């Protein structure tokens, strides 16, 4: 029998759809998930608990080590750029393992598509949920009423949540994240061009040396 999964957080709808389609039982679903999927309360013990990471860029998992390992393999087979950042034992219970998984852009896009098969979902949903959840909720409420206006709503939301704040600030902060999940020193730049297809900015370089190469950081 597949592991019983309890899910909470911003990826709940997409992950519930994915797991149900693959035969995983969902236990103790939230009220919203019960309504969306027509599920019973099913107040049973869970084998694996899935929750949001603090930065909302992925998930935290806890459960029996063997079941967690099997489930992580399942996720990485279906979300091809999902990254396992950490795996260790709970400090309070050695029989419980904890894992941290990052969902980069391709995983978020795939989860957007899966969520869209359940409920009205705009492009970049899981990204924009992190950036401006209220604006996203308003736009998707409008989408449910007027699905023919999808493209208009997506452009408007992208401008409201991404373009306008960047134009107002004028500074772009680029942060590289290592596979370990540790962030490298962020680089900043001046925004020079921004539209729905992407952005262009001129980076600032400070004095220093490239890690692992022992070479000076230079302009250019």
User: In the prediction, which pLDDT does 204 show?
Assistant: 63
Indicate the average pLDDT of the chain.
Answer: 88
Q: What is the pLDDT of residues 114-169, one digit of tens each?
A: 999 999 999 999 999 999 999 999 999 999 999 999 999 999 999 999 888 887 87
The mean pLDDT value for 103-113 works out to 97
Contact between 123 and 129 (Cβ < 8 Å): no
pLDDT, average across residues 63-71: 96
Give the confidence band of 181 by pLDDT, cuts at 50, 70, 90.
low
Cβ atoms of residues 190 and 202 within 8 Å: yes
pLDDT of residue 165: 86
Measured CA to CA, the distance from residue 197 to residue 158 in angstroms comes to 11
Domain boundaries in the chain?
Answer: 5-105, 122-163, 170-220
pLDDT tens per residue across span 39-66? 998 889 999 999 999 999 999 999 999 9
Please give the average per-residue pLDDT across 203-217, as a whole number.
Answer: 61
SS3 state of residue 183: strand
First to last CA, the chain: 57
- Does the pLDDT value for residue 208 go beyond 70? no
Q: Which helix (H) or strand (E) holds 76?
A: helix 65-78
Give the pLDDT of residue 197.
67
Give the pairing of strands 48-52 and 5-7.
parallel
Which residues fall within 8 angstroms of residue 147, CB to CB, at 6 or more apart? 120
More reliable by pLDDT, 4 or 170: 4
Tell me the C-alpha to C-alpha distance, in Å, between residue 43 and each of 4, 8, 49, 53, 160: 11, 14, 14, 24, 40
Q: Which of 16-30, 51-65, 93-107, 179-193 has the lowest mean pLDDT?
A: 179-193
Task: Calculate ∠ Cα 43-53-142, nearest 5°.
Answer: 80
Place of tokens 């600032």: 204
């Amino acid at each position: 029998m597949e592991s019983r999964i309890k899910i909470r957080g911003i990826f709940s709808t997409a992950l519930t759809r994915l797991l149900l389609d693959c035969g995983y039982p969902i236990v103790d679903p939230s009220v919203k998930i019960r309504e969306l999927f027509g599920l019973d309360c099913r107040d049973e013990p869970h084998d694996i608990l899935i929750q949001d990471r603090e930065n909302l860029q992925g998930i935290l998992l806890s459960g029996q080590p063997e079941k967690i390992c099997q489930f992580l393999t399942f996720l990485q087979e279906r979300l091809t750029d999902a990254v396992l950042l950490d795996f260790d034992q709970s400090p309070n219970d050695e029989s419980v393992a904890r894992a941290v998984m990052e969902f980069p852009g391709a995983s978020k896009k795939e989860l957007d598509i899966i969520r869209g098969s359940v409920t009205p979902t705009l492009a970049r949903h899981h990204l924009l949920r992190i950036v401006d959840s209220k604006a996203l909720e308003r736009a998707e409420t409008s989408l449910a009423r007027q699905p023919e206006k999808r493209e208009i709503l997506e452009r408007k939301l992208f401008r409201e949540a991404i373009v306008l704040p960047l134009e107002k600030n004028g500074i772009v902060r680029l942060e590289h994240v290592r596979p370990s999940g540790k962030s490298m020193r962020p680089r900043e730049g001046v925004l020079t061009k921004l539209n729905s297809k992407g952005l262009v900015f001129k980076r600032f370089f400070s004095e220093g040396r490239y890690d692992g190469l022992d070479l000076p950081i230079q302009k250019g």
